[in-house]
Amino acid sequence: MVERKIGWEPQGSHTLVGGEIQRVDGKVKASGQAKYTNDINTPGTLFAKLLTSPHAHAKLVLLNIEKAKGVKGVKSVLAIAKVGDEIQYEGWPIVAIAAERPEFAEDGLRAVEFKFEPLPHFVDGSDFKGAVEADVTVGGKPLKLTKSVGKSGQGDVEVALKEAKHVHRGTYGIHMITHMSMEPHGSHAAWDGENLNVALSTENVSGTSGQYVQPVGVDAMNVNIRCDFLGSGFGSKSTVDEWDVACAKLAKATGKPVRLMLSRTTEMQIGGNRPSAFAEVTVACDAEGNVTAWDSRHWGSNGLQGSIVDHDVTPYVFLPKTRQSVSTGIATNCSPERPWRAPHHPQACAYTQTALDDLAAKAGIDSLQFFQKNLNLTSLPHIYGPELEIAAKLIDWKGKWHPRGKGSGNGPVKRGVGVALHTWDGAANQSNVTLKVHSDGSVEVVTGSQDVGTGTRTCIAQVAADTFGVSMSTIKVSLGSNQFPKAGPSEGSSTIGGVTGPVRRTAQQALWKILDLVAAKYTVERTTLTARDGKVWLGEKEVCTWKQAATLVGPMGLELYGGPVTEDEGLTNHQVGGVQMAEVAVDTETGVIRIVKMVAVQDAGMIVNRLLARSQVYSGLIMGIAYSLSEERIMDNKTGRFINANLNDYKLPRIGDIGDLVVEFYEPESEYKRGVIGLSEPPVISTGAAISNAVANAVGVRVPVLPLTPKRVLDALKGAKG
């Protein structure tokens, strides 16, 4: 008898789930045949461009769009801002123009007459004192830029610090970065009578139609959203933005389809930021290296809102019994924050675990031993413990670690290793699916979810094919439309759990129905039947083929609806732990850091697709290397501008900059049994602290602020020499 219970098979018994299965849409993506929003060019499509503010804070005192209307090829000009508006950041949209060709739209923009009256601005979120003293007004009223956004704590920190054996004080920081999605934000809009058909570059296919209702004047039921392929978003693409509204309005005004994608510079300016964070930390331990107290004050900016990294992730992962932290947000004339992969965790990890590593050095304890010793202050010691051991072997910690700055070799290039660890919730989102088994045996799964690069289509097809015991090509997955069953946004690593849960449950239910039909027809005991290799089996005896079994559902097919997954079904879970180790080589004459090797050991519950899962971890490591070494949204307080808002000057690592990346999944039975947990956010979190710690180990001093540019490295070395 085969037990009929919703859930995954025991570890090692799945045929496709857990395997290295190539992407079902890999060929169309690699050959450029996949159409992203940015590529949609239906007949008659007009191209729209935006005029944006060059000022961080200004009053718009003149705007004349009449001349632009007469420019050759221009079809419609829309003023988004109006005279008298107070512009609050660079990149603020002013005018949108739709024209027959993009060049004509640019000609049109050049014909717009405008004038700004600049107002005082403040854009440097690292400058606490400057923010207190800055003289910025909004609507003529003085604006207080700093505001307390929370504090937390327990125990008497002063007493604990007094009693401690080692106390370390330091200031740390991590600058603001931008999402820099390769496909910019934007949409293609076309009206068909009352219907508004939008291709939207979104991570939230099911949740965006309502956002058109009020600004465009359309009924939600008439808004059709599509996103077949998405050129990444990293958390920044879950809303309909004012430029998307402008696109729909231009389409209405012209009676033609219009495509409006942000230019690269505008994308970087207003497509989202990840807040900066700076912290003054005092941390203490006893003679054995047990951390006994944490005291911190952190500040930074997420742009206009003036908020900052949540104090409830401070300190990060390690929670000493006695601790307190206060946070102060700084409002800056910078476009607002949007969630950036693992919101707030990378920053909190960076200032917490570099400070802990400095304390370890002060106490004269090997960093790894220090982290291991304090795992009792974390919520996942049973995961971090074994992960640290695996990682240590993979990077040869024993062979490579040395007291700070005491590595072998007298040359200018110094090597070092560092460690850090992280956690992430990763609970499944609320997604619905329909699953249809046709009478020819082919299977369709439909959901209003999206593929942000994780491989949503592939994972769904894998789970369905595995459950029915058929090949991947038997399954067709449709997603990316708000006409499909509602699915949650791809935020916080929630998608793969969110969609595979209902697909598994619904496929199991469909299978059982079909097996019942087989049992009736072939007069065998229904609960002894199984499906694999395209056949239905009674033990080791073949009963019929899958195709024969499927005919029993009749010409209408078998269609089931699957609602969102809940954790008590055993299909999904939450909260993972991961550790990372870095080995770096630092040129102490030039300040240039080279990544030699990165090791990531990650728990993600049950892995659905090992090939794609590994890609997620590579991705985390590489984005981590980016913000650790070179990536920075450089805000110039004099001009108020994001001075490197282009891909030449906004430095991202290239293929030669990443070193040797080693990825290992920690998937013992205990974690496997938890089911699917989100994987995309965690591996980007501790990379910064691990690299910074490796650099400190190499050169003997802390370079306190990320990214660790050559200048910051040299400054730190100079500072250490006095």
Partner 1 sequence: MERDEVNRVGAGFSRREFLKGSGAAVVAGAAATSAVEGPLEAQQPATKIISAEPHTIKLNVNGKDQNLTVEPRVLLIDALRNDLNLTGCKDVCDRSTCGACTVLIDGKPVYACTRFAIEVVGQKVVTAESLHSLEKTDDVVTAFCKYDAIQCGFCTPGFVMAVRGFCNQNPGATEDACRRALGGNICRCGIYDGVLKAAYDTAQIAQ
Where does this chain bind ligand FES (CB under 6 A)?
182, 232, 453
The binder of 721, among ligand FES, partner 1, none, by C-beta within 5 to 8 A per type, is: none
The binder of 101, among ligand FES, partner 1, none, by C-beta within 5 to 8 A per type, is: partner 1
The binder of 620, among ligand FES, partner 1, none, by C-beta within 5 to 8 A per type, is: partner 1
- Smallest Cα–Cα separation from 253: which of 419, 97, 410, 433? 97
Least Cβ distance, residue 610 to partner 1 (angstroms): 10
Identity at 112, one-letter amino acid code? V
Q: Measured on CA atoms in the order 390, 395, 399, 402, is the torsion positive or negative? A: negative
Least Cβ distance, residue 100 to ligand FES (angstroms): 22
CA distance 149 to 327: 6
SS3 209: helix
**CB burial of residue 476 (10 Å; 0-12, 13-18, 19+):** middle
- Smallest Cα–Cα separation from 353: which of 577, 686, 626? 686
According to DSSP, the β-strands at 273-274 and 195-200 are unpaired
Least Cβ distance, residue 261 to partner 1 (angstroms): 9
List Cα–Cα distances, 163 to 157, 287, 290, 719, in angstroms.
10, 11, 12, 30
Nearer CB in complex with ligand FES: 182/221: 182
Determine the residue with CB nearest ligand FES: 182
- Decide: 496 and 459 in contact? Cβ < 8 Å: yes
The binder of 605, among partner 1, ligand FES, none, by C-beta within 5 to 8 A per type, is: none
Nearer CB in complex with ligand FES: 235/591: 235
CA atoms within 13 A on the CB side of 271: 28
Least Cβ distance, residue 180 to partner 1 (angstroms): 6
CA distance 506 to 503: 5
Least Cβ distance, residue 631 to ligand FES (angstroms): 14
Exposure string for 92-128, b = 16+ CB within 10 A, e = fewer: bbbbbbbbbebebbbbbbebbebebeebebbbbbbbb
Nearer CB in complex with partner 1: 375/582: 582
Identity at 383, one-letter amino acid code? I
Least Cβ distance, residue 182 to ligand FES (angstroms): 4
CA distance 430 to 206: 11
CA distance 377 to 319: 5
**CB burial of residue 43 (10 Å; 0-12, 13-18, 19+):** exposed
Nearer CB in complex with ligand FES: 352/616: 616
Token pair 């920690």 is at which residue?
666
CA distance 550 to 520: 13
Token pair 């080279």 is at which residue?
594
The binder of 230, among partner 1, ligand FES, none, by C-beta within 5 to 8 A per type, is: partner 1
Q: Measured on CA atoms in the order 675, 676, 681, 682, is the torsion positive or negative? A: positive
Least Cβ distance, residue 707 to ligand FES (angstroms): 20
The binder of 2, among ligand FES, partner 1, none, by C-beta within 5 to 8 A per type, is: none
CA atoms within 13 A on the CB side of 585: 12
The binder of 27, among partner 1, ligand FES, none, by C-beta within 5 to 8 A per type, is: partner 1
Nearer CB in complex with partner 1: 234/351: 234
Nearer CB in complex with partner 1: 500/619: 619
Nearer CB in complex with ligand FES: 107/183: 183
Least Cβ distance, residue 189 to partner 1 (angstroms): 17
Structure tokens at 41: 């060019």
Which residue ranges make up the site for partner 1 (CB under 8 A)? 22-23, 25-36, 38-39, 41, 47, 101-103, 180-183, 229-232, 234, 263-265, 452-454, 611-612, 614-615, 618-623, 630, 646-648, 651-658, 661
Nearer CB in complex with partner 1: 374/615: 615
CA distance 407 to 40: 55
The binder of 328, among partner 1, ligand FES, none, by C-beta within 5 to 8 A per type, is: none
Nearer CB in complex with partner 1: 128/627: 627
Least Cβ distance, residue 181 to ligand FES (angstroms): 8
The binder of 169, among partner 1, ligand FES, none, by C-beta within 5 to 8 A per type, is: none
Least Cβ distance, residue 7 to partner 1 (angstroms): 28
- Decide: 674 and 609 in contact? Cβ < 8 Å: no
Nearer CB in complex with ligand FES: 453/488: 453
Nearer CB in complex with ligand FES: 14/35: 35
The binder of 714, among partner 1, ligand FES, none, by C-beta within 5 to 8 A per type, is: none
Least Cβ distance, residue 180 to ligand FES (angstroms): 9
3-state helix, strand, coil in the chain (%, to 5): 30, 25, 40
Instruction: Report how far Cα 495 is from the mean position of its chain's Cα atoms.
Output: 12
